[in-house]
Amino acid sequence: MAKWFQSGRRRDMCVLLAGAEDGEMTGQRLKTRLERRYDTRIEPKSFYGALDAMEDAGFVQHRTEGIADKYSLTEGGERRLREQFAWMAEHLDDGADEPRDEQ
């Protein structure tokens, strides 16, 4: 798993992008939704730094529309997110009270 995806914030950013109504979201809207989820303010430098790092890694892309940058997942980002979801689902609520041991 790529190091960028070890961050819960980055995973959550990808989840929000994946669930965007039209497949993309402005940076400000994404930041606001994440702040609401965490019930805390996120420093813009930290937030946009994470987006830039994910874009550099090829998991997020952006385009400019007017004065706003709109972000979306790339195919690679979508694939990684689905892999993460499958891994999490494998370890959660499959009728057992405890996660399965990895072997």
What gap in Å lies between CA 33 and CA 57, rounded to an integer?
A: 23
Cα distances (Å, whole numbers) of residue 38 to 6, 51, 54, 79, 99: 17, 17, 20, 25, 25
Q: How far is CA 77 from the centre of its chain?
A: 8
Q: Tens digits of per-residue pLDDT, 7-55?
A: 888 899 999 999 998 999 999 999 999 999 999 999 999 999 999 999 9
What pLDDT score does 87 carry? 87
**Helix (H) or strand (E) run with residue 87 in it:** helix 75-91
pLDDT-derived band of residue 6, with 50, 70 and 90 as boundaries? low
Q: Which residues contact 75 (CB under 8 A, 6 or more apart)?
A: none
Q: Which two tokens stand for residue 23?
A: 């497949």
Residue 98 reports pLDDT greater than 60: no
Higher pLDDT, 71 or 6: 71
pLDDT at position 34 is: 95
Chain segment 66-94, per-residue pLDDT in tens: 999 999 999 999 999 998 889 889 888 76
Q: How many residues does the chain have?
A: 103
